[in-house]
Every structure is written in C-alpha cells, then in structure tokens.
Amino acid sequence: MALRLPTADGRIEEYRIRTAPLPPAAPAPFSRIAFSAAHVVADPLADADPWTATAIDWERTIAFRHHLWDLGLGVAEAMDTAQRGMGLGWREAEELIRRSLDAAKGRAGALIACGAGTDHLDPAVTHSPDAVIAAYEMQFEAIERLGGRVIMMASRALARAAKGPEDYARVYDRLLAQASQPVIVHWLGDMFDPQLAGYWGTRDLDAATATCLAVIAGHVSKVDGIKVSLLSKEREIAMRRQLPAGVRMYTGDDFNYAELIAGENGYHSDALLGIFDAIAPAAAAALGCLAAGDRDGFDTLLAPTVPLSRHIFKAPTWFYKTGIVYLAYLNGFQDHFRMIGGQESARSLVHLAELFRLADAARVLADPDLASERMRLVLALGGVR
C-alpha cells in the first residue's frame, strides 16, 4: 500500500514499506537480564473522560505481558512506560501489579518486578521526609504482600521534600534496610520527568552519583541493581565500574542501549528499558545472538532499532509513551490508538510518520499490510488522504 506521509519540512511524500519484518525466532537463553517496561492498553469504549478518569482494557494489557514473556523478556510493571504519574495512579497501578503477578504465576520462569513509589501522596502538598518514607513503605508492603519484587522508583515527593543529599540517604537507608528481598533502585532523570530535577540532593551529577553509590554501598545485600535513566552512556559506563560486586547496572538509556548491553572491557549493562516494549522481537532475537557469541548478529538486529528509539524518546522525552503505544497499535496488539490521559495527542502527525519510516527500517512492523492500513487511517484523521 502506498502511503502519503508528511515530512518535517512541510511536504507530503509517497512511501511504501521497504523491508520485510523480522522472522519469528524461537526463545533462546540470554546472557543478560532483560526487563521490558510495559505499557497499558486503554479501554476506548469506556464512558470516561481520559483526562479525568482511567479506563484500562485489562484483557489486552495482560495479553501484552504474555507476549513479552513468550519472547523470554521480563516485565517491569507499573513503571513510567505504563504512564505512572501521567494517567496511571497508585490505585490503578496496584490493580495492574496484582493482575500481572497473577498472570506470571501460571508461567514457569516468568520474570517480573514492580514499581513502588510515593505517587498516592497529594502532589499539591510538600511532605516531610518521614511522610515520604511512610508512603514508600505502604507501596513496598502492598507489592511484597502480593509476592512481588520491588523496583524503587524515584519520588517526586522526595525531590520536593529533601533539603539535601542527607535526606535522600535517610529515606533510602530506611527503605532498603527493611526490604524483604533485594530491590532495583531507579534513578530517573529530569528529561523523563522534570519534577525529578536535582535528584539525590543536587543538580551536580557527579555529586549525585556519589550520593547514590554511597547508599548502594551501605546496602549491597538489599540492592539487586540500579536502573539509570539519564541518557548518558558515559555516565552509565563510569558508574557501573564503581558498583559494588554483585550489584547490577540496568541500562535505562534508550539512546545507547545496544552498546551498553554489549559492554566493553569486562563490564556490561543488563536492561530495563521502555523501548523493549516496542521492539521486543528484535531485542529478544538480538539477546539470543549475544548469548550465543554472535556479536555481529546482535548488532545487525539491534543497531537499526536505535534511530527508532532515539526518535520515540526525543525531547520532550516524557511523551515517549505515545510512540510506544502507537507501535503497539500498528502491530496489532490493540485495535485502537487511544491512551489513558488522552496522551495519544502528545506527538504530532509528522512525528508519527517518521516513527513509521524508522520502524520499517528496523524491521519491527510485524505485518506490513496491517501497519500500512492503520497508518493510513491515522493520516486520514489528520487530514492527509
């Protein structure tokens, strides 16, 4: 099918799918731990205003988790990719976590970890560090009661409450000391969430890194790893060399993940990535190649996905969820392009058209005819016929 795609310079160009999709690959052992942060599927037929109510299609949402597990990937549940804090509140997140953990119980070896934060606190109020601790404790307990392992998400409330690094150290020391099993700490940069600016008590990233590393060093037995989402490979490489033995670096760098996962000089990053939601088959096949010692195969499969990921995560980065869900729509994982919070409107038609081109180049359009037809429908709604 020929499409008429808008371009950034105001033209309309004719475009046809140029590559064949990646062939299905049998799941293979990985030499890296790989989580995909997973999106939620909105219920488009619910009589609810997206800006003020959250309506979720639970069946499709859980089915997508099974898709990730089928490929051998883990699920990072109720994270920012699931629109946590941008449409998904704690009440819905807790229900999502419960349903996903229940789904994982029926699968041998299904890997899942769940986000705990402080997002049930009133954002209009500046809370004390003790209130932040209590809020984290409540969500930790809820996840652990359901049998889940915890990803300790960065807290907007803590960023607002803390007066310096010592407040971060006190909060993290308290929570990590009482965690029932090792957690994954998540350092989310302000390019993903502007309300997290100055996390760890300073805007000096070297000083912030030092504070974070000191917290981890004080609780090595309680920290499985740290996910760093700063979009800086240099900072991640430097930090992973300083981690205590046994503590993993989980890359959250959606710009440079391929080379960070591959590693260098005896160091590598494991993965906890939002982009793996969109490129799951390519990611799984590439990780299988890497485990088999086929670095060329790894690069051939994963390198073409990097320009797509950089486009999806371009500034303003916090709107990346729109591109993730758009690819799920193009690939048939949902029958509509609607999002909780009305976030389908967060990216332009030009942005979505370029996403389509890059997804084609990365060979992650599973059914080219279906993807083209759905792209055509979106273009028509935007006035391009």
**What are 202-250's pLDDT values in tens digits?**
999 999 999 999 999 999 999 999 999 999 999 999 999 999 999 999 9
| Model pLDDT for residues 21-56, shown as the tens digit of each residue | 999 888 889 999 999 999 999 999 999 999 999 999
* Phi, psi (degrees; rounded to nearest 5) at 185: -85, 140
pLDDT tier for residue 164 given thresholds of 50, 70 and 90: very high
CA distances, 244 to each of 27, 215, 226 (Å): 31, 11, 11
Reference 164, options 211, 202, 212; nearest CA is: 202
| Model pLDDT for residues 173-199, shown as the tens digit of each residue | 999 999 999 999 999 999 999 999 999
Give the residue-averaged pLDDT of 349-356.
Answer: 98
* Predicted confidence (pLDDT) at residue 363 exceeds the cutoff of 90: yes
Rounded distance between C-alpha atoms, residue 51 and residue 79, angstroms: 19
* Predicted confidence (pLDDT) at residue 166 exceeds the cutoff of 90: yes
Computed over every residue of the chain, the mean pLDDT equals: 97
Hey, what domains does the chain have and what are their CATH numbers? 29-304 (3.20.20.70)
Rounded distance between C-alpha atoms, residue 185 and residue 128, angstroms: 21
- Predicted local confidence at residue 110, as pLDDT: 97
| Model pLDDT for residues 296-347, shown as the tens digit of each residue | 999 999 999 999 999 999 999 999 999 999 999 999 999 999 999 999 999 9
Give the residue-averaged pLDDT of 143-160.
Answer: 98
Give the DSSP per-residue string, 234-260.
HHHHHHHTTSPTTPEEEE--TTTHHHH
